[in-house]
Amino acid sequence: MRSLNLCLFLLIGCLFSQIHASADAIFYESFDEAFEGSWIVSEKEDYSGEWKHSKSEGHDDYGLLVSQQARKYAIVKELEKPVELKDGTVVLQFEVRLQNGLECGGAYLKYLRPQEAGWTAKGFDNESPYSIMFGPDKCGATNKVHFILKHKNPKSGEYVEHHLKFPPTVPSDKLTHVYTAVIKPDNELVILVDGEEKKKANFLSSEDFEPALIPAKTIPDPDDKKPEDWDERAQIPDPEATKPEDWDEDAPMEILDEEAEKPEGWLEDEPEEIDDPEAVKPEDWDDEEDGEWEAPKIDNPKCEDAPGCGEWRRPLKRNPAYKGKWHAPLIDNPAYKGIWKPQEIPNPDYFELEKPNFEPIAAIGIEIWTMQDGILFDNVLIASDEKTATEIRDTTWKPKFKVEEEKQKAEEQAAGSDGLSGIQKTVFDVLYKIADLPFLGDHKDKVLEVIEKAEKQPNITIGVIVSIVVVIFSVLLKLLFGGKKATKKVNVAPAKKEEEESKAAEGEEEEKEEKSEDAAAAGAVPRRKTRRDN
Query: Could you read off the pLDDT of 359-372 as tens digits, one per residue?
Result: 999 999 999 999 98
The pLDDT score that the predictor gives to residue 510 is: 45
* Closest among 501, 507, 512, 502 to 323, alpha carbons compared: 501
High-pLDDT (> 90) share of the chain, %: 67
Least confident of 73-87, 159-173, 347-361, 407-421: 407-421
Mean per-residue pLDDT, 392-407: 95
For the ranges 7-11, 86-90, 175-179, 310-314, which has the lowest average pLDDT? 7-11
- Facing residues of 344 across strands? 220
pLDDT at 110 over 70: yes
What separation in angstroms does the CA of 400 have from each of 53, 97, 123, 222, 403?
A: 18, 11, 35, 58, 5
Q: How far apart are CA 445 and CA 346, in angstroms?
A: 34
Residues of the chain with CATH 2.60.120.200: 25-220+354-404
What is residue 222's predicted lDDT score, i.e. its pLDDT? 95
Residue 129 has pLDDT above 80, yes or no: yes
Parallel, antiparallel, or unpaired: how do β-strands 209-210 and 330-332 relate? unpaired
pLDDT at residue 424, as a whole number: 66
CB–CB of 129/397 below 8 Å? no
- Return the SS3 of 230: coil
d(CA 392, CA 17): 8
Mean of all residue pLDDT scores within the chain: 84
Question: How many whole angstroms separate alpha carbon 121 and alpha carbon 111?
Answer: 13
Distance between CA atoms of 377 and 54, rounded to whole angstroms? 10
Rounded CA-CA distance 231/234 in Å is 8
Instruction: Label residue 442 by pLDDT band (50, 70, 90).
Output: low
Mean pLDDT of 154-183: 95
pTM: 0.65
Q: What pLDDT score does 12 carry?
A: 45
Q: What is the pLDDT of residues 33-92, one digit of tens each?
A: 999 989 999 999 999 999 999 999 999 999 999 999 999 999 999 999 999 998 899 999
Q: Rounded CA gap, 496 and 359, in Å?
A: 69
Q: What is the mean pLDDT of residues 183-200?
A: 97
Segment among 232-246, 310-324, 393-407, 485-499 with least mean pLDDT: 485-499
For 418-436, write each residue's pLDDT tens digit: 444 556 666 777 777 777 7
Mapped onto helix, strand or coil, the DSSP state of residue 63 is: strand
pLDDT above 80 (res 385): yes
In this prediction, residue 198 carries a pLDDT of 97
Closest CA to 252 of 505, 534, 529: 505
Q: How far apart are CA 27 and CA 92, in angstroms?
A: 10
Axis-axis angle for helices 444-456, 420-435 (nearest 10): 170
pLDDT digits (tens, 9 = 90+) for 446-494: 777 777 767 666 656 666 677 777 777 777 666 665 544 343 333 434 3
Distance CA 148, CA 128 (A): 14
Supply the pLDDT for residue 43.
Answer: 96
Query: Cβ(386)–Cβ(8) under 8 Å?
Result: no
Q: So what's the pLDDT on residue 13? A: 45
Give yes or no for residue 231 having a pLDDT over 90: yes
Which is more confident, 468 or 112? Answer: 112
Tell me which fold the domain 25-220+354-404 belongs to. Jelly Rolls (2.60.120)
